[in-house]
Structure 1
Amino acid sequence: MATPEFIRRLRETAGHQLLWLPGVSAIVFDAEGRVLLGKRKDTGRWSVIGGIPEPGEQPARTAVREVLEETGVHCVPERVVLVQALDPFTYPNGDTCQFMDVTLRCRAVGGEARVNDDESLDVRWFAIDALPELEEFALTRIKQALDSGPTWFDPTTGP
């Protein structure tokens, strides 16, 4: 994911220290029940679509924007499926971030799946029983989006 300008400005004064950031993941299904995935340029791996909200941007709007920017697909968010604080991550340049991810189940309503930015190597629809190799992050989110149960969150409370 490209680093948003507001984070580059923060890094000018924060250096490499840990930044607590919002993140949004969009699990997009088409009318056939297939899931939309992008092959990330930075890792070469397939994953769900996602990104960082702009300051003041609502998570649902972020999902719609990121899906369109990365894949050319128009979508409508349907529900929150997961809220999770991720483990801190250090990028190759030394920047450290920890994301609070909000995952939304979305329905495709138009457009055509294609590489639509410089962050992706490939974009495709996959049948649930024919998913490519995915990291646990993506598999967990797809599984939760398929479940019609309540939003998942870590129920751990305090010390």
Structure 2
Amino acid sequence: MAYIAEVRAAAGHRPLIFTSASGALVNNQGAVLLQERADTGNWGFPGGYMEYGETFVQTVKREFKEDAGIEIEPVRLLQLQDSDQYTYPNGDQVQPVNAFYLVRALNHQHFATKPTETVRTRYFALDGQPPRFFNHQHANMWEVLQATLSSK
């Protein structure tokens, strides 16, 4: 997050384009893991912004461990998203370019999450939907995941 903080210190709240990566971890019952975000209180897929020098794969692995406490590896790129724009509660404006992956857990070990980013994690059945998504991008990821898993 140091890179984002440095850029924001220079740019203020003005609109910026940032790259990010997120993942969908589906359990044996077909439910997907989501995080309740500390910054907005909404639900979303674990993931976040790329640090300078990282790849999308490195980013999703790091962010998933920080947000959900689980070491993962990407199985398949589901979608590259670039059409959303969002204003955070603090006024920061962003157009994220997000790589959305289907992921699998590497082991059963669970790590502590960052309390500044995650309130809790929970599995949601794909035939339902969490009470409120973080933004349109996460709602779109939900639809992409539903379509991908229903076509198998």
- Identify the TM-score tier after normalising by the shorter chain: 0.7 to 0.9
Residues 1-159 of structure 1 mapped to structure 2, 5 A cutoff: 4-111=1-108, 116-118=113-115, 119-135=117-133, 136-148=136-148
Q: Which residue does 1:153 correspond to in 2?
A: none
Q: Distance in 1 between matches of 2:87 and 2:146?
A: 31
Greater radius of gyration (CA):
1
Unaligned runs of 5+ in 2: none
Contact 2:32-2:123 within 8 A present in 1 as well: yes
Which of 7-16 and 101-110 deviates more? 7-16
Q: Distance in 1 between matches of 2:35 and 2:101?
A: 16
Q: Is the alpha carbon distance of 1:58 and 1:19 closer, same or farther for their aligned partners in structure 2, counting shifts above 3 Å?
A: same
Contact 2:31-2:123 within 8 A present in 1 as well: yes
Cα drift, residue 129 of structure 1: 2.7
Which of 58-67 and 6-15 deviates more? 6-15
Q: Is the alpha carbon distance of 1:109 and 1:142 closer, same or farther for their aligned partners in structure 2, counting shifts above 3 Å?
A: farther
Name the count of aligned residue pairs: 146
Superimposed CA distance per residue, residues 84-112 of structure 1 (whole angstroms, 9 cap, x where no aligned partner): 21333233433222111111111123235
Q: Distance in 2 between matches of 1:32 and 1:59?
A: 28
Cα drift, residue 54 of structure 1: 1.0
The one-letter amino acid of 2:43's match is: W
Contact 2:65-2:111 within 8 A present in 1 as well: no
Unaligned runs of 5+ in 1: 150-159
Q: Distance in 1 between matches of 2:120 and 2:72?
A: 18
Q: Secondary structure at the match of 1:54?
A: coil
Superimposed CA distance per residue, residues 26-82 of structure 1 (whole angstroms, 9 cap, x where no aligned partner): 111123322111111112122111101111111111111111111111212011111
CA RMSD, Structure 1 to Structure 2 (Å): 2.3
Q: Secondary structure at the match of 2:107?
A: strand
Q: Is the alpha carbon distance of 1:108 and 1:90 closer, same or farther for their aligned partners in structure 2, counting shifts above 3 Å?
A: same
Identity within the alignment, %: 31
Contact 1:113-1:125 within 8 A present in 2 as well: no
